Amino acid sequence: MKKEIYQVAITQEKEKAILVGIVLPGMTLRQEEESLDELAFLADTAGAEVVDRILQDRRVVDPATLIGKGKVHQISRRVVELGAKVVIFDVDLSPVQLKNLERELNRKIIDRSGLILDIFARRARTKEAQIQVELAQLEYFLPRLTRHWTHLSRQEAGIGTRGPGETQLEVDRRTIRKRIGHLKSELFRIEKQRRVRRRRRVDFKKVALVGYTNVGKSSLLNGLANAQVFVEDRLFATLDATIRALSLENHRKVLLIDTVGFIRKLPHHLVASFRSTLEETIEADLLLHVVDISHPQFEEQIGSVLGVLRELGIFEKPTIIVFNKVDLLKERSILPNLSQRFPRAVFTSAVKGMGLESLRQEIVKVLEEEEVEEVIHIPIEETKTIARIHKMALVIEKTYENGRAKIRFRATPRNISRIHSWLENCDHDADTHR
């Protein structure tokens, strides 16, 4: 099966696009306008030129077209007047709605999930990211497959049109399902390799950067760890997990992890497809929730990120709120209030280098809250175990007497348990006490 069947076509020339939003009960006009602003940014990232926006206020969704016949006719006139090639909806459309809208408007119809998937397809660089994106695309397009097979004339009734079309459609569905199975097997194989690499990093604490897309996570990674990660003022500039070592005070070293940003109305199947990449975040000891404080809707963005964290089951992890881009903030009077609401908040500008030292200190403080102090006496010939203790714990004091090392250190309960299990396997006795 050719990839063009299920992937949105990518062209070099910008396509003129009309955006369509819908205001339903429980929503405000302002909320949908803000969502359309974000959709426009997504469309620009995907290479489209937005030429118009249309909003529809409805009490109930039209099951056939989402927005109703009258609004469809209005959009039909606008696409002709403006020469628009694509109409982008701010919600996910059902297969029936997609089919009806394409027939009525005679234009390419893309919904929010389809647009995000198109951007992900452009951004994917590594083999794993490419597989994850293709898997998400296939699972998204499978129930919508009928709209891609216009050459079978399935919309026309009558003798000679039902059997062949339905047969071809089922063959293609089986082909896609087979491809989905193959991709899941590939992801499982890659995840096994990732687990092996993760075991090699088990001695280090992990700090994961999470947050809305385009809030400056990669810039923060560069500023903290002197990394050279790609940075661009676009949505979803980073898809793959990036891991860099971060040196802190007292010779403490942690692993800083950056991965894909979140967005409101993030497709659930996309979160599922990228779950293996997000495993790095799931296993982190501490989260840095990065927020673009200069964004007018940063409060709503915080809520969207917390929703994804709940979905991943890591909502309760120790978290530092990092209000980034303070250099772009026009109204600084909000800072004291945010400091009260978020006791662990740190204010930074990754690009300007502001607040990075305060953030490093807060990382150390939070990590130490999870640690307990312990003393062990171990034979000095157990050099490998002593070296590993230095890697995974903060050694406060170390002395030698009568062929034994006395080590006072701080570590998390999990790491202390692992240290005890190593000592039990030693050939010589070792004493521990707190």
CB-based contact 419:431 (threshold 8 Å): no
User: What's the pLDDT at 274?
Assistant: 65
Task: Give phi and psi for 260, each to the nearest 5.
Answer: -60, 140
The answer to whether residues 221 and 323 belong to one domain is yes
Mean pLDDT by 10 residues, the chain (434 residues): 43 82 88 88 90 92 93 95 95 91 93 87 78 84 63 41 54 85 86 71 79 89 77 59 81 82 73 66 89 92 89 86 94 90 93 93 88 87 83 85 88 80 64 55
Q: Tell me, yes or no, whether 79 lies in a domain.
A: yes
Rg (CA), the chain: 27
Tokens matching residue 343: 């006791």
Same domain for 315 and 421? no
pLDDT computed for residue 352 by the predictor: 92
Give the tokens for residue 295. Answer: 């964004």
Return the SS3 of 51.
strand
Residue 165: predicted pLDDT: 47
166 domain residue, yes or no:
no
Burial tier of 284 (Cβ tally within 10 Å: 0-12, 13-18, 19+): buried
Distance CA 407, CA 59 (A): 69
Distance CA(303)–CA(319), nearest Å, equals 14
- Note whether 331 and 277 are same-domain residues: yes
pLDDT of residue 277: 61
Q: Quick one: angle between helices 162-200 and 275-282, nearest 10? A: 30
332 plus 416 within the same structural domain: no
Tell me whether residue 106 is exposed, middle or buried, using C-beta atoms within 10 angstroms of its C-beta: 0 to 12, 13 to 18, 19 or more. exposed
Looking at the domain assignment, is residue 310 inside a domain? yes
- Contact indicator for 407, 398 with CB cutoff of 8 Å: yes
**End of a domain among 334, 367, 400?**
367
Q: Are 363 and 247 in the same domain?
A: yes
Residues 250 and 327 occupy one common structural domain: yes
Residue 7: which CATH number? Answer: 3.40.50.11060
- Number of domains into which the chain is organized: 3
- pLDDT of 231 reads 56
The contacts of residue 26 (CB under 8 Å, 6+ apart) are none
Burial 114-149 (b: 16+ CB within 10 A, else e): bbbbbbbbbbbeeebbbbbbbbbbbbbbbebbbbee
Q: How far apart are CA 355 and CA 349, in angstroms?
A: 7
Domain with 380 in it: 371-433
CATH number at residue 341: 3.40.50.300
Residues 319 and 421 in one domain: no
Question: What is the model's pLDDT at position 236?
Answer: 63
Q: Do 281 and 312 sit in the same domain of this protein?
A: yes
Tokens found for residue 2: 């050719």
Residue 187 lies in a domain: no
Choose the final residue of a domain: 352, 367, 382: 367
Q: What are phi and psi of 400, to 5 degrees?
A: -125, 140
Domain termination site, one of 341, 367, 393: 367
Per-residue 3-state assignment (H helix, E strand, C coil) for 304-343: HHHHHHHHHCCCCCCEEEEEECHHHCCCHHHHHHHHHHCC
**Could you tell me if 313 and 388 lie in one domain?**
no
| Assigned domain for 33 exists | yes
In a domain, 190, yes or no: no
Structure confidence at residue 276 (pLDDT): 58
Question: What tokens appear for 171 in the block?
Answer: 């063959």
Q: Which amino acid is at 85?
A: K
And the tokens for 371? 């640690």
Q: Are residues 363 and 380 in the same domain?
A: no
> Can you list the alpha helix ranges (DSSP code H) found in 247-288?
268-273, 275-282
Q: What is the CATH number of the domain that holds 413?
A: 3.30.70.240
Whole-number Å distance between alpha carbons of 163 and 153:
11
pLDDT at position 202, please? 60
User: What pLDDT shows up at residue 227?
Assistant: 67
| Amino acid identity, position 207 | V
240 and 315, same domain (yes or no)? yes
**Cβ-contact 63, 99 below 8 angstroms:** no
**326 shares a domain with 257:** yes
pTM: 0.74
Bridge partner list, 296? none
